[in-house]
Amino acid sequence: MDLQGKHIVLGLTGGVACYKAADLARELIKAGATVQAVMTASAQQFVTPLLLQSLTGRPVATTQWDTTQPNAMAHINLSREADAILVAPATADFIARLAQGRCDELLSLLCVARPAERCSLLLAPAMNREMWAHPATQRNAQQVRDDGAVLLGPASGSQACGEIGDGRMLEPEDIRDALIAHFQPKVLQGRRVLITAGPTFEAIDPVRGITNRSSGKMGFAIARAAAEAGAQVILVAGPVHLPTPAGVQRIDVESAQQMHDAVLPLAAQHELFIATAAVADWRPVAQADAKIKKVAGQGTPTFELTENPDVLAAVAALPSAPFCVGFAAETHDIERHAREKLHRKKLQLVVANHGPSTFGRDENQLLLVDAQGTHELPAADKLSLARTLVGEVARRLPTA
């Protein structure tokens, strides 16, 4: 219920992507928001007000001449009630109207009349790729940004006209997540954050290797939470099958050595390093060129191992090291092992948990260990914990 208590005006303008607005309204409501739909005349050519009323439980506003309003000022009343106005789809024509300050129908009136300091304006562009690329549209898009609007997308992909390119409206789930992110406290605004996540895979032969049960879910949740908090985030991910959080730059690696080689050149450019990855401590000295076959009577193969580079310790030892947060997935004596890691690797914070209880799951429970003591974050879903953790880390960061 990330939008609990938020009241959203959902504006629809005349584009084929109006069909997505029905799903978007449902996603916002499922996330806890109340939704007031406002439709332009052209939007009503694609979907009916009855559909949006059925989904939101509220009569759809369609005209500035609504005499059912006590003061006949729908554009004032609706904008004063809203925490945000979200226009999805936002056509090229509607963006042009806003860029020019034109407001001769209800939705544009709402956008212009809104109290900008407490009612955000978010636009999800949707149009043909040539329309989006047109210089006039690009000028108008920049103008509405300069005037305080937030543009969500557009995405690139297949379009209703059959062409492929930029201009496709984001999917409802992506718009919902962007709206949720918009409301998150910007405690890392402008900070540069480097994060590792997932397991590593140390090849024995072309088909086998040494790895662990880390799913990467906690690290990816932290990357999303840091981006929501306003940070510029680079995520170095081991072999996992998870979608990249919005606004996050992702670098995929496989082995511990590859993760080390990706992280070290970047670390000094960042103010914060959060090492959630479960990096293998050892790797085979040599990798077989072909699959090692089981042969009856020849016994069990043996492997000589060598130690992998310690990515976190290497970053913490840099002359201009970032603020370093380590993770410790333990099976017993969690606080003791976490504190030993804190001192051994010279870290500012260690986040510890019971590894077998959380690997692959959507929930976690964390223990924060630093020089001042310990602080427990009770069991919750990993994204909620990630947001809380980001707040805790932000409080500990030195002033920029």
**pLDDT tens digits along 170-186:** 999 999 999 999 999 99
Output the CA–CA distances (angstroms, integers) from residue 65 to 46, 78, 105, 108, 112, in the order listed: 22, 13, 9, 14, 17
Pair (299, 167) in one structural domain: no
Residue 330: per-residue pLDDT: 81
Round the average pLDDT of the chain to a whole number and report it: 94
Q: What is the pLDDT of residues 27-46, one digit of tens each?
A: 999 999 999 999 999 999 99
> What pLDDT does residue 135 have?
98
Segment 346-381, tens digit of pLDDT: 999 999 987 767 777 888 889 999 999 999 999 999
Does residue 149 fall inside a structural domain? yes
One domain, residues 105 and 232: no
pLDDT band at 76 (very low <50, low <70, confident <90, very high): confident
The percent of residues in the chain predicted with pLDDT above 90, rounded, is 84
Structural domain ending residue among the three candidates 143, 160, 183 = 183
Q: Residue 111 catalytic?
A: no
Question: Which of 57-71, 116-130, 258-272 comes out lowest in average pLDDT?
Answer: 57-71
pLDDT above 70 (res 332): yes
Are 129 and 267 found together in one domain? no
Span 119-171, pLDDT tens digits? 999 999 999 999 999 999 999 999 999 999 999 999 999 988 899 999 999 99
Q: 109 near 97, Cβ under 8 Å? A: no
> Is residue 336 very low, low, confident or very high in pLDDT (cuts 50, 70, 90)?
very high
Q: Are residues 175 and 210 in the same domain?
A: no
CATH number of the structural domain spanning residue 67: 3.40.50.1950
Residues 28, 148 within the same domain: yes
Instruction: Let me know whether 231 and 289 are in one domain.
Output: yes
Residue 2 lies in a domain: no
Is there a single domain that holds both residue 178 and residue 86? Answer: yes
With beta carbons less than 8 A apart as the criterion, state whether 21 and 5 touch.
no
Residue 108 neighbours by CB under 8 Å, 6+ apart: 94, 97, 98, 102
Q: Domain containing 231 — which CATH number?
A: 3.40.50.10300
Q: Provide the pLDDT for residue 400.
A: 60
In a domain, 372, yes or no: yes
Tell me how far CA of residue 384 lies from CA of 27, 28, 396, in angstroms. Answer: 18, 18, 19
Do 173 and 213 lie in a common domain? no
Check whether residue 106 and residue 233 sit in a common domain: no
Please tell me the total count of domains within the chain.
Answer: 2
Same domain, 59 and 92: yes
Residue 160 within a domain: yes
295 and 175 part of one domain: no
Task: Establish if 113 belongs to a structural domain.
Answer: yes
Which of 18, 119, 161, 324 is catalytic? The answer is 161
Note down the domain range covering 261.
192-396
Q: What is the mean pLDDT of residues 278-307?
A: 90
Strand pairing report for 120-125 and 84-90? parallel
